[in-house]
Chain A
Amino acid sequence: MYKFKSKATPYFFLLPCAALIFTILIYPVTAGMINSFYDENLLMPMEPTFIGISNYQSLLGNPMFLGALWRSIIWTITIQVFSLTIGLFFALALNGNIFWKKLLRCLVLIPWVIPNAISGIIWRWFLDGSYGLLNYILRSLGIIQHNLQWLSTEHLAASALVSVIIWRSIPFITITLLAGLQAIPMDIYEAAQVDGASRLRILMHMTLPLLSKIIIITTILTSIWNFNQFEIIQVITRGGPGEATLTLPVFIYRLFMQTFQTSIASSAAVIMMIILTIPTIVYVRKILRG
């Protein structure tokens, strides 16, 4: 694309945006990072004092924090594996020779286009221990004898929440993989079919390698989102029962809203950002290169 040459104009146009990014993004985030080395508590009227890395030390010795960190990592990986597999299935299915493609695409998109908080609400009702539809279906199919309390039993709540987040992630993955599939020229498939390659071989040796770039980008992006996922968990279980669904963002929110210790909550958020640094850099480089 042709680029105009001018010294001052581009900066002039960028000024409002840059000013806003600085005042409402860079400044607060920097303030938060600096604050993580202090001992500020909003409930205490005294001046915060510099305490170095004490907040980080106490977090790293806090089993609840370590549990939440570990849970976040395991959840993110599990969610990614399942949503990528199912998303790939949907993308291949919707790219196949079928009727009503547009309608089906719209239906698959639904979990992604409704608000996170609302997904949480409708799943709470769907999983309800007394009147939930899931219990009824499983009872009718003879899989369970009695209603399960999905959200108040520890191991069930964790699996339920992971499933809801998988459900929420699938549409985005489907739609990006579908865009990737549609960019693959048809004639290479025809050539492969003439050569007598089986469908599975075509999928494994042609389609997936051609999709690899888009799979990597989508995986980084959805993993970052899911690692940050707060709204669904907060609406459905608020991290409970006990700590069964307490992931890092929910832990930070709980810590902050219960104790108003801004500093230690900021330290936990900084640790979160550090974990996300590498995937973010990889993602930005991939996007900017084209």
Chain B
Amino acid sequence: MSVKKKQKEFIFKMLKTIIILVVTIVFILPFLWMISTSFKAPDEIFAAIPRWLPREFGFGNYVGIWSRPNFPVFIVNSIIISVITSIISLTVAVLSGYSISRFKFRGRGFFSALLIIVQMFPSMLLLIPMFVIMQRLNLMDTHASMIIAYTTFAMPFCTWMLKGYFDTIPTSMEESARIEGCTRMGVLIRIIVPLSAPGIVTVSMFAFVLSWQEYLYALTFARTEAMRTITVGIALMQGQHGSVNWGEVMAGSLIACIPGLVLFTYLEKYLVQGFTMGAIKE
């Protein structure tokens, strides 16, 4: 009897899983369609009756997009901008996050609120004056313009995330180091930073991905092909008119998705368990 009941339960559980799996697959169908298209031959992509899967998985589109003169440039631009943005944001955020996490001082509440509010600013409100400033400083069409713009969202985000991480580290070690005569800065560099290495790595990955995925500032500040980042580069390949090489565009899109996919798959558990809402930027 109990064996039968167990079997029944198992079948019921399996059935539910399959239903949810099917719903989920339908939900991410446009994404799966991108993957499928990116491996197809051109004649298959533009067939009257589309095939769900490619006849054979070919890498022609990937080779094609890599051999376009600009695509490697887009990737390099995205990497340069994202890495520098992460380094700047993180260096500043270690200091400010530590300060907010450890000290009680006048203006602490105000500063915390400010950090969240600036993350909520409509980017359009910032874009227009930024555009004017970049023009005056002759920074249009440079990596610097995008790095500055990205720091506006990456730095508050990193501060808030790191503050949350520092909160979880007990203060006892710092106290004894202080008694031994270590300076505050020494404590931060010798004790806190090594202890929070996993947190710092995670936060810098976030900053990298946020910058990698940005579109609005990159679209506005990069005026020539040589300065474009990957999101803008690919988006402009499928421009408004004319024929589009969808196979190559889909291959490029998949490449552009990789950092985000890797980061969030790696962090998935953390996202569900300890969700620090104040630190989430779209």
Contacts and interface: CB of A to CB of B under 8 A. Distances in A.
Interface of A: 1-7, 9-11, 13-18, 20-21, 24-26, 28-29, 31-32, 35, 42, 90, 93-94, 96-100, 102, 104-118, 120-126, 128, 131, 133, 136, 167, 170, 172, 175-176, 178-179, 182, 217, 221, 224-225, 228, 230-231, 234-235, 238, 249, 252-253, 256-257, 262, 265-266, 268-270, 272-273, 276, 280, 283-284, 287-288
A99 B104 contact: no
B180 interface: no
B265 interface: yes
Contact of B271 (A13, A16, A107, A175): A175
Nearest to A19: B92
A113 B212 CA distance: 12
Nearest first, the 10 A-B pairs at minimum CB distance are A17-B96, A3-B104, A115-B213, A10-B103, A13-B99, A28-B129, A32-B129, A113-B264, A269-B125, A117-B215
B157 to A, nearest CB: 12
Interface string B178-198: 000000100010000000000
Nearest to A286: B277
Contact of B31 (A114, A128, A182, A235): A114
B7 interface: no
Contacts of B152: 24-25
Given A110-B28, A284-B117, A122 B128 contact: no
A16 B261 contact: no
A122 B33 contact: yes
B122 A272 contact: yes
A265 B124 CA distance: 9
Chain A interface mostly helix, strand, loop or mixed?
A: helix
Contact of B33 (A3, A15, A133): A133
Contact of B272 (A10, A96, A178, A280): A178
Nearest to B232: A117
A122 B31 contact: yes
Contact of B129 (A18, A31, A117): A31
Most chain-A Cβ atoms within 10 A of its Cβ — which of B33, B93, B151, B188? B33
Contacts, number: 292
Contact of B128 (A93, A104, A269): A269
A125 B40 CA distance: 14
A69 B246 CA distance: 34
B167 A262 contact: no
A167 B271 CA distance: 19
Given A105-B272, A113-B263, A121-B234, A231 B33 contact: no
B109 interface: yes
A64 to B, nearest CB: 16
A172 B275 CA distance: 11
B69 interface: no
Contact of A117 (B122, B156, B235): B235
A176 to B, nearest CB: 6
B238 A124 contact: yes
Contact of A176 (B23, B215, B269, B277): B277
B282 to A, nearest CB: 5
Contact of B238 (A31, A42, A110, A121): A121
A262 B124 CA distance: 11
B53 interface: no
A221 B265 contact: no
Contacts of A172: 280, 282
Contact of B24 (A26, A108, A225, A283): A108
Nearest to B250: A125
B83 to A, nearest CB: 17
Given A121-B234, A280-B120, 18 more contacts: A10-B108, A21-B118, A25-B121, A26-B118, A31-B129, A109-B264, A114-B213, A116-B282, A117-B232, A118-B257, A179-B271, A238-B240, A257-B220, A262-B128, A269-B122, A269-B128, A272-B124, A273-B122
Most chain-B Cβ atoms within 10 A of its Cβ — which of A118, A121, A283? A118
Contact of B29 (A126, A131, A178, A265): A126
Nearest to B210: A115
B77 interface: no
B46 to A, nearest CB: 6
B200 to A, nearest CB: 16
A187 to B, nearest CB: 20
Contacts of B129: 28-29, 31-32, 35, 262, 266
20 contacts: A4-B102, A7-B105, A14-B95, A21-B114, A21-B115, A32-B126, A106-B268, A109-B264, A111-B28, A113-B261, A125-B34, A126-B30, A131-B50, A167-B30, A179-B273, A179-B275, A262-B129, A262-B132, A283-B116, A283-B120
